[in-house]
Homo-oligomer: A and B are copies of this chain.
C-alpha cells in the first residue's frame, strides 16, 4: 500500500496541479437550497464529485462538521469514505495534547475517520506530536506560520537564537520525523516570508492555506515554492462562488482556474 506521501506525489503527477480543495461547508454560505443538515451532506458530496479530477487532494476542516454534533460526524465519515482511496484527504483538525491523549486523537482521525493526513498544533511539543507520527504511512502537517492575523501574536516572537518562534518550531521539529511523514502549514498570506520558509523546510512538504478570501497571492506563493514539495489549498474561493441552484458549474470553473494557475506540468 502506498504511503500518504507517495499518494500526494503521484496525485500531483497525475493531476498536474498543486491544488488542494478545502471543504469548509459553512452552512450560511451554502447554496440557498442546501442550507440544512441534509443539504450540507449533499453539498459536500457534490463538491467532491464535481472536482475530483481537478485537485491533488482535499483538506476537510473538522470545525464545520463538529458543530452539527453526531449528524456532522456521520456526514464527515461518509464524505471521507466517498473520497476513498483515489484522492488523499487532509483532516484539518488542529489537534494536539499530552501524549496519552494525542494517541487517541490520532486513532480518531486516522483509524475511525480514515483520513490520510492531519494538521497538528506544535505548542505542546514533542510528545504531543509523536503519537500522530507513529501511524506509519500517514502524514502530519505541523502548524508553522499560520495564515491568520493572530499569527503575529506569538509565532513571530523572536526567540533564543534570534529567530522567530515559527522558525524554531520548524527547525526543531524536523528531527521528530522525516520528510515522508512530516510537513508544515505555512499561510500563503505571508508574502515576504514564503521564500525563506521554503528554503528552511528544505524537502519537507508545505501545505499553504490562505489563498483567495484570506488575501494570499497565488503568483507569489507559486514563485516562492518553485521546485519544492508543496500543496496549495483554496477553500472558500472555490466552493462558494454562488448560492444558486446551478452553483456547481461555477465551482468547476473556479476549480479549473486554480488548477491551471497551480500547474505542475
Whether B100 lies near A26 (C-beta < 8 A) is yes
**Bound Cα distance from A102 to B127, whole angstroms:** 24
8 Å CB interface, A88-116 against B: 92, 94-105, 107-108, 111-113
User: Is the beta-carbon distance between B150 and A154 smaller than 8 angstroms?
Assistant: no
With an 8 Å Cβ cutoff, the count of chain A residues facing the other chain is: 60
Number of copies: 2
Q: Beyond A70-B73, A127-B149, A147-B98, is A122–B154 a contact (Cβ under 8 Å)?
A: yes
- By the criterion CB–CB under 8 Å, are A66 and B104 in contact? yes
Please determine whether B165 and A154 come into contact, CB atoms closer than 8 angstroms. yes
Contact B101 A63 (CB under 8 A): yes
User: How far in angstroms is the closest Cβ of chain B from A252?
Assistant: 24
B165 touches A151 (CB 8 A): no
Known: A67-B104, A104-B66. A123 touches B122 (CB 8 A): yes
Residues of chain B within 8 A of A157, CB atoms compared: 159-160, 165, 168
* Cβ distance A254 to chain B, nearest Cβ, rounded Å: 19
Is A137 positioned at the interface, with any CB of B under 8 Å from its CB? no
With A and B bound together, what is the CA distance between A151 and B146 in angstroms? 20
Q: Is there a chain B Cβ closer than 8 Å to A126's Cβ?
A: yes
Decide if B150 touches A127 in the complex (CB within 8 Å).
Answer: yes
Contacts of A97 in B (CB 8 A): 61, 63, 92, 94
**Neighbouring B residues of A154 by C-beta, 8 Å:** 122-123, 125, 165, 168-169, 172
Do A124 and B108 touch across chains, with their CB atoms under 8 A apart? no
A155 within 8 A of B: yes
Bound Cα distance A243, B160 (Å): 47
CB neighbours of A73 from chain B (8 A): 69-70, 73
